[in-house]
């Protein structure tokens, strides 16, 4: 629509994760542009010195080889990003470089950076997908390149479409026999047994009183979700898994030759080194930047290094965890074949007695792997957490209790029935979650013990609950749409919408939620938001400036969701409760505000603030979605692996002396109309 001032306005409908309402958000024409720029993780790559140095070495070596043949050096850089690799190529002696970048904001940033560094006459930025680039007198490129430089890789190597892009480039954009940087990629894998990792893929039997809840056969037989589980594997300690076989070299791709994106399988035979249950495949890859393999950029986790301090941390490339379609007992000395298959965008693994040439793509058939994320599987399997909920339910349930559960795909209503509640109802947010819970009830002979209602809270009537008044309202709370800690306050809005169906003396579990914060120094995560200024001698500050303008365009800095168990940090303050939400009462009409200061008692560089929720199930039982153990004397933080915590990065990190003279000031406001918390933090210096 056009406003009275003549400015074009765009309104986008978005489901609010906290209130559950459909919000119509006004967005200007440049909203998406600034949103993408502000959220880009370019800094992580620019701070990845190991990656940058290896690319630079490989590019210099390739330019030298082409020049030694007496040829003019023409470089094609696909996925140029900031233009860094193109500038490296020109500095190394390339005569001309075509830099391709499909993302318009990044292409504009690259053009600005290239100009600022004085390379505009030798680098042409092409804002297209590489498969749309043309060669010829009137084309994007005047001639085919004899050096192909790319950064098209993700944690799974091929997930960003590297294979189709290489395939097209060799057919249309580069000369036969071109040099490629990187020259080769090799994928490695190892079969392991791991109770921790396997708990991310399958529901284990659950003991409730005298009853053992079994997972449905459809779930245990299911191959699971096809998407890769990318993780900072360095944070999974070697004691959390047992190696059952050697590290296998599964396959290599030579990028200097024509590449095929057609589906293919590769098998590696190995001898089992230890008896156990084959459940999980750990996988990563290496890049050889030159044909000799003397310049290697490795994605191997830190515990593969003789000196872990030499491990080059990066977040744009991690390691992969793949779950076998079913666990298998294996014996020491047994010979097996591990097969990796791929299409043009993804990999998957299988284990058998013989080589397999055609392995079907894994596909979830039980719907549980579509309903629950991997962290959610881990949460449902967490015995200590489960016992907290069972203990709380035992303390509040009575033989005449009428329970209503509000959480996505939760087993709490099943627990309530087994603990003796008179009637149990459960609101399910989708037909999928309803069907998954129905499977659990049916396989455990509990059909009709819980009434599953696929209906929104505000639409629920007395007739839907058989005319009963609810005496116990329960929730974990867990909702699939939640990202930030306070998004789970959707439970509070549900409780408010259900007020007319609750008895005046109804028990609400959890009874309240408290938002906590702690000032932290990150070991590595700070890199993803740190300004770069210069990188390998090139001025990339225009990218920093664009990000800052984008943050200013969005008016306020925001907390970001991160799974902090993967990102070590040290506490520089004590945990501090800043805001409590009373679920015994309805959502208030007026905002809730909280201001104060937290002394910085730890020595280190304060990069920002971590935020999380703790839920009071009863007066003496609390479940934390953040810190799960007290912070020790060294400031070590142990975070829940099941939920993401909120992280607010300071614009200017502050060196704390640890004497308590400096403090973190906070100003938080919860707006009940939009269900969001506006955050503002700063360091008060002595």
**Which residues are marked as active site?**
151, 160
DSSP per-residue letters across 18-81:
TT--EEEEEE-TTHHHHHHHHH--HHHHHT-HHHHHHHHHHHHHHHHHHHHTT---EEEEES-T
Strands 576-582, 512-522: pairing kind: antiparallel
Q: Which residues contact 69 (CB under 8 A, 6 or more apart)?
A: none
Return the closest-CA partner of residue 152 out of 261, 60, 226, 66. Answer: 261
Helix segments in 401-489, DSSP class H:
412-418, 431-443
SS3 sequence of 203-267: CCCEEECCEEECCCHHHHCCCCCCCCEEECHHHCCHHHCEECCCCEEEEEEECCCCCCCCCEEEE
CA triple 446-449-451, angle to 5 deg: 125
Dist CA 666 CA 595 (whole Å): 5
- Between CA 553 and CA 541 the distance in angstroms is 18
Residue with tokens 């730890």: 602
What is the sign of the dihedral through the CA atoms of 560, 563, 568 and 572? positive
**Residues in contact with 545: Cβ distance below 8 Å, sequence separation at least 6, in sequence order:** none
What SS3 class is residue 122? coil
Q: How far is CA 457 from CA 480, 519, 597, in A?
A: 16, 37, 38
Total residue count of the chain as it appears in this document? 686
Q: In whole angstroms, give the CA distance from residue 506 to residue 471.
A: 4
Are the C-beta atoms of 197 and 280 separated by less than 8 Å? Answer: yes
Cβ neighbours, 10 Å, residue 5: 6
Residue with tokens 């993302």: 103
């Amino acid at each position: 629509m056009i406003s009275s001032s003549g400015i074009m306005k765009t309104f986008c409908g978005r489901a609010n994760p906290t209130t559950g309402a459909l919000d119509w958000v006004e967005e200007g024409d440049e909203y998406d542009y600034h949103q993408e720029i502000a959220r880009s993780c370019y800094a992580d790559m620019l701070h990845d010195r190991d990656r940058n140095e290896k690319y630079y070495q490989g590019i210099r070596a390739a330019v030298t080889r082409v020049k030694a043949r007496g040829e003019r050096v023409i470089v094609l850089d696909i996925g140029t990003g900031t233009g860094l690799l193109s500038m490296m190529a020109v500095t190394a002696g390339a005569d001309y470089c075509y830099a391709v970048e499909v993302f318009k904001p990044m292409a504009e940033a690259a053009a600005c950076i290239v100009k600022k560094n004085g390379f505009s006459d030798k680098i042409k930025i092409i804002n297209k997908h590489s498969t749309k680039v043309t060669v010829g007198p009137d084309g994007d490129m005047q001639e085919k390149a004899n050096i192909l430089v790319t950064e098209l890789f993700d944690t799974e190597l091929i997930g960003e479409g590297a294979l189709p892009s290489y395939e097209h480039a060799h057919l249309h954009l580069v000369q036969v026999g071109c040099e490629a940087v990187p020259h080769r990629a090799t994928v490695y894998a190892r079969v392991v047994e791991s109770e921790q990792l396997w708990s991310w893929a399958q529901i284990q039997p659950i003991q409730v009183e005298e009853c053992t809840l079994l997972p449905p056969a459809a779930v245990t037989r299911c191959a699971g979700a096809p998407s890769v589980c990318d993780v900072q594997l360095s944070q999974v300690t070697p004691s959390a898994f047992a190696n059952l076989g050697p590290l296998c070299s599964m396959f290599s791709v030579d990028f200097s030759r024509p590449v095929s994106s057609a589906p293919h399988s590769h098998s590696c035979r190995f001898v089992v080194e230890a008896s156990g249950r084959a459940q999980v495949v750990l996988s990563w890859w290496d890049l050889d930047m030159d044909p000799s393999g003397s310049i290697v950029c490795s994605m191997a986790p830190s515990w593969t290094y003789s000196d872990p301090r030499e491990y080059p941390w990066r977040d744009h490339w991690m390691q992969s965890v793949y779950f076998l379609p079913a666990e298998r007992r294996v014996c020491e000395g047994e010979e097996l074949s591990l097969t990796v298959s791929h299409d043009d965008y993804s990999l998957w693994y299988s284990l058998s007695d013989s080589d397999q040439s055609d392995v079907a793509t894994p596909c979830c058939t039980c719907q549980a792997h579509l309903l629950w994320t991997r962290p959610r599987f881990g949460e449902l399997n967490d015995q200590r957490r489960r016992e907290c909920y069972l203990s709380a339910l035992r303390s509040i349930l009575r033989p005449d209790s009428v329970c209503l559960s509000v959480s996505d795909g939760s087993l709490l209503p099943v627990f309530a029935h087994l603990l003796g509640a008179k009637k149990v109802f459960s609101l399910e947010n989708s037909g999928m979650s309803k069907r998954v819970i129905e499977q659990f009830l049916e396989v455990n002979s509990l059909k009709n013990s819980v009434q599953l209602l696929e209906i929104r809270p505000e639409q629920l009537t007395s007739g839907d609950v058989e005319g009963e008044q609810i005496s116990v309202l329960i929730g974990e709370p867990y909702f699939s749409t939640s990202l930030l800690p306070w998004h789970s306050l959707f439970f509070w809005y549900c409780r408010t919408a259900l007020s007319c169906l609750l008895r005046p003396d109804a028990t609400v579990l959890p009874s309240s939620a408290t938002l906590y914060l702690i000032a932290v120094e990150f070991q590595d995560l700070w890199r993803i938001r740190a300004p770069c200024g210069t990188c390998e001698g090139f001025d990339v500050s225009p990218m920093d400036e664009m990000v800052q303008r984008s943050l200013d365009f969005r008016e306020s800095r925001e907390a970001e969701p991160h799974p902090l168990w993967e990102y070590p940090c040290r506490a520089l303050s004590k945990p501090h409760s800043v805001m409590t939400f009373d679920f015994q009462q309805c959502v208030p009409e007026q905002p809730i505000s909280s201001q104060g200061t937290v002394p910085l008692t730890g020595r280190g560089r304060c990069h920002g603030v971590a935020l999380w929720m703790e839920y009071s199930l009863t007066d003496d039982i609390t479940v934390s979605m953040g810190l799960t153990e007290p912070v020790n004397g060294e400031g070590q933080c142990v975070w829940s692996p099941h939920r993401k915590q909120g992280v607010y990065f300071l614009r200017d990190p502050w060196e704390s002396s640890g004497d308590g003279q400096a403090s973190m000031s906070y100003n938080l406001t919860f707006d009940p109309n939009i269900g969001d918390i506006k955050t503002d933090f700063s360091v008060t210096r002595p």
